[in-house]
Chain A
C-alpha cells in the first residue's frame, strides 16, 4: 500500500474515533442537562428542600440532603487526602529516599488507584462492624479520603517530577534545606498539583460504591459526624430504581446538579492552573 494512502486512512480513523467519543460525551451530558433542566425549571424547589419521610416512595420533598451530604463528605475528605498526599508526594522525590524505594512505592499507589471503590467501601464497612458502629458521615469522609489519595499522590508526584532539576539545584545552592527546596519545587508544580487535587475530588464526588455502605443512604438531612448521610450518586441510584415516575424524573435533577458540580470543579482547576502557570510558562522544561 502506498504510504500516502496509509496516511489518509489513519487520519480518517483518528477523526472517527475522536468523533465517536466526543459525540457520546455530548449526548450523555446533553441528555442529563436537558432532562434535569426541565425538571428543575418546573420545580426549582427540589434543590432547596429536604426530603419528606416518604420521598423515595413518591412523597414530598427534594434532594437537598444528598447535595449537602456530598459536599460535607467530599470537602473534608479532600482536605485530609491533600494533606497526606502532599507529604507523601514530597517524600517520593529524590531528595528524601532512594530512587528504587520511591519507585516501589509508586507501584503501590498505582495499584491502590486501580482498586475498585467498592473494595474501599467493604474495607471500611468491616472496620465499622468490628467497632460496632453504623455508617456515618465520618466513616464516609475517611473512605473517600482513602479513595482519592492514590490519585492525588500520583498526580502530585508526576507534577513534582516534571520540575526541572535546575530549580531544585538553584534552591539548594542558595542554602535551602530539603524542606524549603521541596516547597519551592511544589510551587513550581502547583498547576499539576491543583489538577490532581480536583481530579481526586471529582472521583470522590462521583463515587457511589464506596459510600453506600459506609455513610448510609437514608433520607435524613446530615446531622453530625456520627449520623448517616446520603450522597448524590447514591441518591441517583435509588431514584433511578424507583417505581414512581416522578421520583425517576428527580434522578435527572440530581444528575444535573452532580454534572454541574463536576464541570465547575474542572473549570476551577483550569483557572487555577492558568493563574499559576504564569510563573513557569516560557521557561523550558
Chain B
C-alpha cells in the first residue's frame, strides 16, 4: 500500500452552539483529525455526538448560521479554509456535500446537474451536455433518465434523486465529497446502488461518510473515525478498527452495549 497522502487536516477544532440566553454548548471538543486522500473515511458515533456538525464545518456551511461558532483550523491540501480572506464559494466548489435526504433543486433533471457548472461560468451548451452526460453516467443514472432530461427532478424516485444529487455534486469537479448519512432515507436496493457508487468514486475523490449504520461503515470504509459526545475517541484503519478496537468505549459501541443510548 503506498503511503497515504493527507487531504484534510483538522486542527484544534471547537464548535459551540449559542442559544438565546447566550449560553454556549460545546458541540465539538478540540478535534484533531487527518483524513487521507482518495480514501473513504467514515465518521461513526451515536446520534447527537456531532458527526454532522463536523462534516458541515468542512464545507463552512455554518457561515450562514448565526448561532454556531467555529474555532480552529481545517486545512484542505495546504490551505486553511477558515482563512477569512478565502472566498467561501470557491471552497465549496472543491468540497461537495450530499445531504441526508435528496433535495433536488426546483428545475428539471438536466438543469439540476448543470446548475453547478453554470454557477462557475461554464455556459456553452455542448460543454454542459458533456458534463451532464458524464456525471449521470458515473452515478449510473444515465440509462434511466436519458430520455427524460427535461422532466422535473422531483418526478424521480427517492433513490434516483439521491444519485442525482451525487451527480450534481460531481458536476462541479470537487476534490472532497462529504456524505451525510446519504442512505438513511433510502430503501435497501437504492442504498446498495449508492454504496457501490461510493466504492467506485473513492478512486478519484476523498470521501467522508457520516454513518450510523455500523455494517455500512464496515463494508465501505478504508478509515474510520469514532466520535463520542463531541470527542474523537479512536481513529484508524477500518479493518483494525473493527477487529481490534483499542478504546473501551469503541469496543462497547461496536458490540452494541453502549450505556445510556
A residues neighboring B (CB under 8 Å): 94-95, 98-99, 164, 166-177, 180, 184, 187-188, 190, 276, 278-283
Contacts and interface: CB of A to CB of B under 8 A. Distances in A.
Contacts of B120: 175
A170 B92 contact: no
Interface centre among A164, A184, A282 (most CB of B within 10 A): A282
B99 A166 contact: yes
B106 A190 contact: yes
Nearest to B151: A278
B8 interface: no
A98 B67 CA distance: 10
Contact of A173 (B97, B101, B106, B108): B97
Contacts of B59: 172-173
Interface of B: 59, 61, 64-66, 89-90, 92-93, 95-97, 99, 101, 103-108, 115-116, 119-120, 152-155, 165, 168-169, 172
Contact of A167 (B103, B119, B155): B103
Contacts of A164: 103
Contacts of B108: 279
B106 A280 contact: yes
Given A174-B119, A175-B119, A167 B169 contact: no
B139 to A, nearest CB: 15
A279 B106 contact: yes
B150 to A, nearest CB: 12
A278 B169 contact: no
Nearest to A93: B64
25 contacts: A94-B66, A166-B99, A169-B97, A170-B97, A170-B99, A170-B168, A171-B105, A171-B115, A172-B59, A172-B61, A172-B64, A173-B61, A174-B92, A174-B93, A174-B169, A174-B172, A176-B89, A180-B119, A184-B105, A187-B106, A190-B106, A276-B106, A279-B107, A283-B104, A283-B154
Contacts of B165: 170
Contact of A98 (B66, B99, B172): B66
A173 B96 contact: yes
Interface centre among B97, B119, B165, B168 (most CB of A within 10 A): B119
Interface centre among A164, A172, A188, A276 (most CB of B within 10 A): A172
B105 A173 contact: no
Contacts of B66: 94, 98-99
Contacts of B116: 174-175
Contacts of A188: 105-106
